[in-house]
């Protein structure tokens, strides 16, 4: 059997250990693994008419060439947000572009080409590692008759059907450390620190990071906030702090009451524009209302930088082994998952059934903009 593995969307710590474990398990069982590079772009840009090797897009993976990859973060296969079902004409491979007029802004479904490439490469099973966008095209492959086993990753931890995604623990750990570190300049200069974290639609990473770092206030994507109310709360927090500072953690997808999500640029292949800027907006408004100087910091890519922590390594290894178990058993069309602390699998199309969001009633004080644990009994490890 020949297994094709790829990573799509944003990088997270834990991808390389997961890939390495899939390679070792598959080879020990007598099978081959092809590394598809740059996410779904590897299959989109591979040219079936080129008789030579195309290592920029696909390369065999062996125990030798994955030996050290687990020591670093990110993905050595590289990644992209390519969606072969919605490719701009300007982004098409040259061979496919000739069928369309120059300058066309049309989006093209290149799935027939992808299926041709899969057949040409002799791939028997696909193992995409990604969030709901990347895995949604995995669902498309499944409906087209390609055996698929998906592996969830995202530091937002918002893939439906699993309690845990590779990358979440490390992102929270990084954020907590950095938030605590920013207490030093905030306290030294007696400022209000406004710290923006990644998190498009789900505020879980912001909520848990704020909870574990004991931030004064947390603004999450699920609950619009009123800036005057926030200013009053943060002023009180600062006045009650002997070091005369306060910490506000903001999800990049948070919105002011009556406002809109701050987005910029053009839509990507999955219909998303780039988020960011709400932290600066909040900081400017707080300074105008309170008169206190602001320390603005976006943690951004620092949340996903560097090697994985031990929990993400454990889950990456376990998901890899579970994925290969399913592949060897011929039980495809599944996504590996964790539910109630137990490794299991769910149908691939679970990723598109419902968005995963913070349970505001159970976990958030919407009046005072801070984490609130209504009760602990029966909660999963990450409360979510």
Cβ-proximal residues to 128 (8 Å cutoff; 6+ apart), any chain: 5, 6, 7, 8, 40, 134, 135, 137, 138, 141, 148, 150, 151
Q: What is the pLDDT of residue 245?
A: 98
Q: Which is the catalytic residue, given 132, 133, 156, 312?
A: 156
Q: What is the pLDDT of residue 324?
A: 98
Tell me: the pLDDT tens digits for 138-176? 999 999 999 999 999 999 898 999 999 999 999 999 999
What residue ranges do the domains of the chain occupy? 2-166+308-352, 169-305+359-371
Q: What is the pLDDT of residue 94?
A: 87
Note down pLDDT in tens along the chain; length 384 residues. 999 999 999 999 999 999 999 999 999 999 999 999 999 999 999 999 998 999 999 999 999 999 999 999 999 999 999 999 999 999 999 888 888 888 788 899 999 999 999 999 999 999 999 998 999 999 999 999 999 999 999 998 989 999 999 999 999 999 999 999 999 999 999 999 999 998 767 788 999 999 999 999 999 989 999 999 999 999 999 999 999 999 999 999 899 988 666 544 555 555 544 556 899 999 999 999 999 999 999 998 999 999 999 999 999 999 999 999 999 999 999 999 999 889 999 999 998 887 778 888 889 999 999 999 877 787 777 766
Active site residue 158: no
**CATH number 3.30.70.1450 is the correct assignment for the domain at 169-305+359-371:** no
Q: What is the pLDDT of residue 359?
A: 86
Q: Which CATH architecture has domain 2-166+308-352?
A: 3-Layer(aba) Sandwich (3.40)
Query: What is the three-state SS of the chain?
Result: CEEEEEECCCCCCCHHHHHHHHHHHHHHCCCEEEEECCCCHHHHHCCCCCCCCCCCCEEEECCCCCCCHHHCCCCCCCCCCCCCCCEEHHHCCHHHHCCCCCCCCCEECCHHHHHHHHHHHCCCEEEEEECHHHHHHHHHHHHCCCCEEEEEECCCCCCCCCCCCECHHHHHHHHHHHHHHHHHHHHHCCCEEEEEECCCCCCHHHHHHHHHHCCCEEECCCCCECHHHHHHHHHHHHHHCCCCCEEEEEECCCCECCCCCCEECCCCCCCCCEECCHHHHHHHHHHHHHCCCEEEEECHHHHHCCCCCHHHHHHHHHHHHHHHHHHHHCCCCEEEEEECCEEEEEEHHHHHCCCCCCCHHHHEECCCCEECCCCCCCCCCCCC
pTM comes to: 0.92
Which tokens go with 132?
């709901």
Are both 2-166+308-352 and 169-305+359-371 of the same fold? yes
How far apart (Å, rounded) are the C-alpha atoms in residues 292 and 246?
11
Q: What is the pLDDT of residue 273?
A: 47
Tell me: the pLDDT tens digits for 290-323? 999 999 999 989 999 999 999 999 999 999 999 9
Q: What is the pLDDT of residue 263?
A: 46
């Amino acid at each position: 059997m020949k297994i094709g593995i790829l990573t799509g969307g944003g990088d997270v710590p834990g991808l390389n250990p997961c890939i390495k474990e899939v390679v070792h398990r598959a080879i020990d069982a007598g099978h081959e693994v092809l590394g598809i590079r740059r996410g779904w772009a590897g299959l989109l840009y591979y040219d079936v008419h080129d008789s030579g090797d195309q290592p920029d897009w696909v390369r065999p993976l062996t125990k030798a060439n994955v030996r050290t990859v687990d020591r670093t973060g990110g993905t050595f296969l590289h990644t992209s947000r390519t969606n072969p079902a919605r490719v701009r004409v300007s982004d098409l491979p040259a061979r496919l572009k000739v069928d369309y007029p120059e300058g066309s802004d049309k989006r093209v479904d290149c799935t027939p080409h992808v299926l041709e490439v899969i057949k040409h490469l002799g791939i028997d099973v696909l193992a995409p590692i990604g969030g709901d966008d990347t895995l949604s095209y995995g669902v498309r492959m499944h409906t087209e008759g390609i055996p698929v086993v998906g592996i969830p990753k995202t530091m937002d931890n918002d893939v439906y059907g699993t309690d845990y995604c590779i990358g979440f623990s490390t992102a929270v750990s990084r954020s907590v450390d950095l938030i605590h570190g920013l207490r030093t300049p905030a306290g030294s200069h007696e400022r209000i620190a406004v710290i923006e974290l990644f998190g498009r639609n789900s505020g879980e990473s912001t909520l848990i990071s704020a909870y574990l770092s004991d931030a004064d206030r947390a603004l999450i994507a699920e609950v619009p906030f009123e800036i005057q109310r926030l200013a009053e709360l943060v002023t009180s927090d600062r006045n009650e702090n002997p070091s005369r500072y306060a910490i506000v953690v903001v999800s990049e997808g948070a919105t002011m009451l009556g406002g809109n999500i701050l987005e910029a640029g053009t839509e990507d292949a999955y219909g998303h524009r780039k988020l960011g800027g709400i932290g600066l907006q909040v900081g400017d408004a707080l300074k105008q209302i309170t008169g206190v100087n602001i320390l603005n910091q976006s943690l951004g890519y620092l949340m996903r930088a560097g090697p994985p922590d031990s929990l993400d390594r454990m889950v990456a290894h376990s998901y890899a082994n579970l994925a290969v178990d399913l592949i060897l058993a011929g039980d495809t069309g599944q996504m590996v998952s964790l539910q109630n602390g137990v490794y299991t699998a769910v149908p691939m199309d679970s990723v598109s059934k419902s968005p995963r969001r913070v349970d505001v009633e159970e976990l958030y004080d919407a009046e005072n903009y801070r984490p609130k644990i209504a009760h602990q009994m029966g909660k999963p490890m990450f409360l979510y």
